[in-house]
Amino acid sequence: MSRMPRREFLKHSAMYAVCVSVIPPLSYGETDKELVVDPCKTTADILGPVYRAHAPFRSDVIPPGVNLPILNVSGTIVGKDCRTPLAGAIIEIWHADEKGDYDNDSPAYNYRARWKVDQTGIYAFRTNFPGRYLNGDTYRPRHIHLRVSGKGHRELISQLYFKDDPYIETDPWASRPEAMQRILTLSQVKTDEYSVVFDVHLTA
């Protein structure tokens, strides 16, 4: 695995700013500043600089020989009517390892995977917890990157976060109001095994 040099990361951080600026603004309520979140639309987040195409199709993302707490990530991909599973949709995830490093070049594509859903729309990945890495002077919270596409729908690029992560507040992206729907509560399944459920709503 290789770690992105700081200079390279900062260069890509500037690219982040460009990405963020093209995300459409969210609407606010008339009477107060309460954010109106559309439950039928999963909000977007930045792609980040370490996306790799051609990740393998697999449900078990844990590299061979790794014995760390398990994180199950599952949900249903739903289409623009907000309820019908979107058969044939593809969901892709990638995240850092426990040290905060991404696999940017190995043929193993560690902690990178795709899944094509059937008519149930259900996806399920079995992985480990992402580590944190520095972004400037502060750590990015633990996060999983997502890319989801389905026929007749707009591609979604986003990220998942975890409740009570102390670095959410200082993160430029996790702290945005539209990220709230993607800050997930962990359920403990058994010793050293946890799960989160996240349904993805694509739009036209």
Residues making contact with Fe ion (CB under 5 A): 48
User: Residue 170 corresponds to which tokens in the numbers above?
Assistant: 């200082």
Q: Are 90 and 116 in contact (CB under 8 A)?
A: yes
Q: Are 65 and 189 in contact (CB under 8 A)?
A: no
Q: How far is the CB of 182 from Fe ion (least distance, A)?
A: 13
Q: Give the closest residue to 94 by CA, choosing from 135, 66, 52.
A: 52
Q: How far is the CB of 72 from Fe ion (least distance, A)?
A: 20
Determine the residue with CB nearest Fe ion.
48
Per DSSP bridges, beta strands 193-197 and 187-190 are antiparallel
Neighbours of 77 (CB within 10 A): 27
DSSP state of 105: S
Q: How far is the CB of 116 from Fe ion (least distance, A)?
A: 23
Q: Given the complex with Fe ion, which of 50 and 78 has the nearer CB atom?
A: 50
Q: Given the complex with Fe ion, which of 121 and 141 has the nearer CB atom?
A: 141
Per DSSP bridges, beta strands 200-201 and 70-78 are parallel
For the chain, how many residues are written? 204
Q: How far is the CB of 103 from Fe ion (least distance, A)?
A: 12
Q: Given the complex with Fe ion, which of 95 and 114 has the nearer CB atom?
A: 95
Q: Given the complex with Fe ion, which of 115 and 161 has the nearer CB atom?
A: 161
Across-strand partners of 139? 134
Q: Are 72 and 193 in contact (CB under 8 A)?
A: yes
Q: Given the complex with Fe ion, which of 80 and 176 has the nearer CB atom?
A: 176
Q: How far is the CB of 39 from Fe ion (least distance, A)?
A: 25
